[in-house]
Amino acid sequence: MVFDFKDIIEIMEKLEGISSKIEKTQILINILKNTPKENLEYVLLFLMGNIYPEHVEKELGISQNLLMKAMSKAYGHGIEEIERMWKEKGDLGRIAEELCEKRKQTALLFSSLTLREIFNVLRQAADMEGEGSIDKKMSLISGLLIKAKPKESKYLVRFILGDMRIGVAEGLVRDAIIGAYFSQFYWIDIFTSQQSITEEIILRYWKNKVFLISKEAELSHPLFVLIKKIAKEVKEIPEREIERISSFHYSKLKADIVITSSSELGSRLRQSYVELVDEAYALINDISQIALIAYEDGEEGLREVKPVIFRPIKVMLAQKVNTIIEAFNVVGKPAAFEYKFDGFRAQIHKNKDKVVIFTRRLENVTKQFPDIVSYIKEHINAENCIIEGEIIGYNKQTKEWLPFQKLSQRIKRKYYIEKIKEEIPAMIHLFDVVYVDDELVIKKPFKDRRRILEHIVREEDFKVMLAKQIITEDVKEAERFYKESLTKGNEGIMAKNLNAPYKPGLRVGNMLKIKPTLETLDLVIVGAEWGEGKRAGYLSSYELACYDPDTGEFLTIGKLGTGIKEKSEEGTSFEELTEILKPHIIKEEGKHVVIEPRLVVEVTYEEIQKSPHYTSGFALRFPRLVRVRDDKSPEEADTLERVYQIYEMQRGRGIRG
């Protein structure tokens, strides 16, 4: 079966109506199994609403207004009418569907669009620049819309806007890749009475599949009886065999679904594949390429994935602990402690004489930091490398290190870079290495990576330094170092496990941050209310949401009204937030507005509580604004999982995962 645009539209409709993640995954697995290799990239990018893979810096550059104009041209309705409909419905996709239907075109006039054609046209539009390009882009888009059937128009428009509204994001696509090219792992554990399958899933999605079931399982269990009825084949093998097979080549068994009798084993097997795919993905930042590698070269292929120089990788993240003793408990003794500089994290790629700097958001900021580029060229002795450090600003006169807020002016600055470079000079403190002279070094323990770094860096104060570090097993010594770091103007210290590998894209306990403040949350504003009285004309009461990386959804968790100033001179004000948010309003209902998730804010709170009132299932007590986090994208906001972890920690249950 050739899987193309018309097939995917039918499935999109199904996905939109389903909220269960496990069901969505089953549908995605079917898509992957039916998609031929040459369409895999298009299908995955389309599902996720991306025209290019994540690492490509190009943008389509079609604003909502331009799209409305293209719709107006394609459907012969006035732009005012489309705008009015949009304010009412807040979904241009549905409006396109409605207008397309009204056009009463006979089916014969619709030509069948292919994914290849859609991507070609849109990528052509993305490449257009300069005079007349806006009109040309508009014609290209209206040309596509004219060819599309009503349902197709709906998703085409959403695709152009980059918001498919089907609840499919990286997490689910990753699970689907595992399910399609390796196996799906479930369990029915009668000892712990945990089971990860339901009768509904079996009946709806698992007819004619090949099952591998552990011999130790309670085979008289009604779900197994059902499976035996509907399966194409059931292989029963001992649990230790299942474990052994999985450790080298699972896919050879061609089992669609593996069911163990132990929830521990089942979830461990599943987790091992999750880590395999996640790590490879974090290194090359292209989920469709990962799918292709899994499809063609299986596990081995994924294990051999190497980063590509000048393509940003997803970095390893830190967990928070509150005390040095806690830190030792997590990273072991002795441990490395380093200053936690208050700058921005830079991922630096170098190949011969070329240097590129990426931020945490994987944005290229090379142009903004010509000073750092030349320091790296002069002070790093490696043909090629990917290294990490914190760029901080300092005061030219006093030589004191500056807080991040000051340096952030340089990140935003696109012009007069030479001038600001003089006003806010910057330096870098390097703390890790991922790749050096064509070798991926992430599997090496941290102490060896630090040694490599020491070997390739020629330090020079106020240019390139290694992060100040001590190695100790003594709580008192670590505490002294913590105090010293704070007096230097740093945020705190980092504690690092000397023997741990680098885990790209993951927040595992290999690297910890210790800072004096409460754990804050970085959340996305997704709604607000128009204010009254002295706040009339300004947005207020901002609705906060955390991120669900499985579905790409933003789940609400509270309303923010404090910590925001009345006047801009005093800090982040209502006026300033309104200015940032207003262009992203997507719907208005009386006083309440819905805002496209764009802006990340850091908030403190007194406590996290369970709450049916918000879609995350949690509520923040007394949230208060700390600052706007324009160094983070909405997808980098704190996740539902993180909120849950903090909630558990509050209840004294400690860190998980």
Site residues for ligand ATP per CB under 6 A = 317-318, 338-341, 345, 390, 431, 467, 494, 513
* Nearest residue (CB) to ligand ATP, 91 versus 390: 390
Proportion of the chain in helix, strand, coil states, percent, rounded to 5: 45, 25, 35
Nearer to ligand ATP, 165 or 360 (CB): 360
Q: What is the C-alpha separation between 494 and 515, in angstroms, rounded?
A: 9
CB of 325 vs ligand ATP, minimal distance in Å? 20
How far apart are the C-alpha atoms of 527 and 587, rounded to whole Å?
A: 9
Least distance from ligand ATP to the Cβ atom of residue 394, Å = 15
Measured from the CB of residue 343, what is the shortest distance to ligand ATP in angstroms? 7
The CB-of-328 to ligand ATP minimum distance in angstroms stands at 17
Nearest Cα to Cα of residue 278 among 177, 385, 388: 177
The residue (of 170 and 338) whose beta carbon lies closer to ligand ATP is 338
The least distance separating ligand ATP from the CB of residue 496, rounded to whole angstroms, comes to 7
Type and span of the H or E element at 614: none
Nearer to ligand ATP, 210 or 649 (CB): 649
- Gyration radius of the chain's alpha carbons: 26
Q: Smallest gap, in angstroms, from Cβ of residue 622 to ligand ATP?
A: 20
CA distances from 267 to 260, 264, 279, 370 (A): 9, 5, 18, 48
Pairing of strands 257-260, 210-214: parallel
Measured from the CB atom, is 270 or 349 closer to ligand ATP?
349
Considering beta carbons, is residue 202 or 318 the nearer one to ligand ATP?
318
Shortest separation between residue 581's beta carbon and ligand ATP, angstroms? 22
Residue 92 vs 600, nearer CB to ligand ATP:
600
Cα–Cα distance measured from residue 288 to residue 190, given in angstroms and rounded to the nearest whole number? 38
Distance CA 439, CA 436 (A): 5
Least distance between ligand ATP and beta carbon 268 (Å): 26
Buried b (16+ CB within 10 A) or exposed e, 348-383: bbbeeeebbbbbbbbeebbebbebbbebbeebbebe
The set of residues, in sequence order, having a beta carbon less than 8 Å from that of 652 and lying 6+ positions away, is: none
CB-closest chain residue to ligand ATP: 345
Provide the minimum distance between the beta carbon of 340 and ligand ATP in the complex, in angstroms, as a whole number: 4
Helices of type H across 346-403 = 370-379
CB atoms within 10 A of CB 61: 14
Is 209 among the residues known to form the active site?
no
Q: Are 505 and 281 in contact (CB under 8 A)?
A: yes
Residue 316 tokens read as 């390893």
Query: What are the residues facing 258 on neighbouring strands?
Result: 185, 212
How many residues comprise the chain? 657
Nearest distance from C-beta of residue 494 to ligand ATP, angstroms:
4
* Nearest in space to 349 (alpha carbons), one of 360, 358, 336: 358
Helix (H), strand (E) at residue 206: none
**CB-side neighbour CA atoms (13 Å) of 639:** 13
Question: Which residues have C-beta within 8 Å of that of residue 585, sequence separation ≥ 6?
Answer: 593, 594, 595, 596
Strands 469-472 and 335-340: antiparallel
Residues near 626 by beta carbon (within 8 Å), at least 6 away in sequence = 520, 563, 601, 602, 603, 604
Q: Which of 24, 69, 340, 463 is catalytic?
A: 340
d(CA 187, CA 261): 6
Q: Which is nearer to ligand ATP, 2 or 518 (CB)?
A: 518
Between β-strands 233-237 and 511-514, what pairing exists: parallel, antiparallel or unpaired? unpaired
Catalytic residues: 340
